[in-house]
Amino acid sequence: MKEAFTTLEELTDQSKAWADLQLQSYLASLSSDQRSEFVSAQIAGALTEVGTAKQNTFRDSKDKLGGLDNNISSVMYYLTRTRDLKNMASDVDTITQKQLSTIDSNHDLSVRQHEVNEWANSNKLDTLYFLQLLFVTLSFIGVLLFLKMNGLISGALFSLITTITSIILVLVLIIRYRYTSVARNTRYWSKSRFPTQPDRVSASVNINCPAST
């Protein structure tokens, strides 16, 4: 028959029992004074081992506590640094927003100033155009007057041509003033203003919809 398999736990228990038997046998062979001395030595050794174990445990706990304190200090430093960086980023963002707002305002002002300058320059050019027409008309009338004084044209023809030319010049002035003051766009010189047209789509929808009862 095969022997039963012995586990490690059983061997350990047997070893402990054998050690206990040896210890009991050893103690039984000692006298009372020797047993007291042996027990005192064992107690002193146990106390020494316990004290050493406590010191080692305390030292390890102290080292771990110091490590945890260093970790907490590092974390607090990183939190403070992160908060400072966040505040710095917020300040930079605020300054950037103000600069962007200033740039937008300056851009709008420069665009509007350009529009004002363009409108004023175009108005001056239009006025110069009318003055040129006036100069040409007066020069033409001067030529006609010279021809009339030399007898090359009659007084009636001179008066007719002068009147027609003057009427044309006055019409140009009136049309120019009327268009600029009424029809021309006040912001863009090259655009015109038109009267507001009614919304025919909305009007047709309102007409086609039946009245609510």
How many C-beta atoms lie closer than 10 Å to residue 118's C-beta? 14
- Mean pLDDT, all residues of the chain: 77
Among 105, 115, 100, smallest CA distance to 185 is for 115
39-76 tens-digit pLDDT: 677 777 777 777 788 788 878 877 777 787 788 888 88
Split into its structural domains, the chain has a count of 1
The pTM (predicted TM-score) of the whole model is: 0.45
Domain assignment of residue 110, yes or no = no
Domain assignment of residue 154, yes or no = no
Domain assignment of residue 34, yes or no = yes
Domain assignment of residue 65, yes or no = yes
Domain assignment of residue 141, yes or no = no
Phi-psi region of 21 (alpha: psi -120 to 50; beta: other; left: phi over 0): alpha
Domain assignment of residue 37, yes or no = yes
Domain assignment of residue 123, yes or no = no
Domain assignment of residue 125, yes or no = no
Range of the domain at 76: 14-87
96-123 tens-digit pLDDT: 888 888 787 778 788 888 888 888 888 8
The rounded distance, in Å, linking the Cα atoms of 159 and 144 is 9
